Chain A
């Protein structure tokens, strides 16, 4: 058996989704629930995202370390330390998918304002499409590793 990179991508994706879900539930129940007017406060959104970024980085590092230890114990597989041309090619193709989603999110966010929706809808649309882009790019990586390019 050899180490398949899609395993770490899948674990990382699950960790990202869990982290995002728990964080936004925490933010909702502690700040938004009962105070819906805070949704139109841009300072609140700025703080929410700025706090989320270091949390995500720490979670990713911890997940990588834990995964490499557990994987080594269970399967005795070494995680490759090099990034070769196929990895870079898959990375580029996945990045292109996330770059297609970003402008879609931007135009949707602008459309919400054009149709007279609340400002928080624009922010939520931008954040949601940004994370959707990241998630789709990870799913694309798993697909390319499995099916080939």
Chain B
């Protein structure tokens, strides 16, 4: 079974957007600041609509804001076993 991990660089993009605050970004995309904090900390994966809204605020394509990693559990487990054997 593969596990997916969605990461983002909203914090960096906010910094380069004249130190945009979390509240300003939240107001621009129509969510609460708590949601922006959760997204930045990787505690919540936004819907496609919200992801597009955020990327539009920064004027970047979606891939520049969010990245998607797919990790295969079987591969991870076999790697752990190999490390364990060593």
Contacts and interface: CB of A to CB of B under 8 A. Distances in A.
Q: Do these two chains really belong together in a complex?
A: yes
Interface of A: 2-5, 80, 82, 84-87, 145, 147-149
Nearest to A4: B34
Contact of A2 (B37, B43, B47, B49): B37
A82 B32 contact: yes
Contacts of B23: 2
B23 to A, nearest CB: 7
A101 B34 CA distance: 29
21 contacts: A2-B33, A2-B37, A3-B33, A5-B32, A80-B32, A80-B34, A82-B31, A84-B30, A84-B32, A85-B31, A85-B46, A86-B31, A86-B32, A86-B34, A86-B35, A87-B32, A148-B38, A148-B41, A148-B42, A149-B43, A149-B44
B35 A3 contact: no
Contacts, number: 44
A148 B34 contact: no
A5 to B, nearest CB: 6
Given A2-B22, A2-B23, A84 B35 contact: yes
B41 A84 contact: no
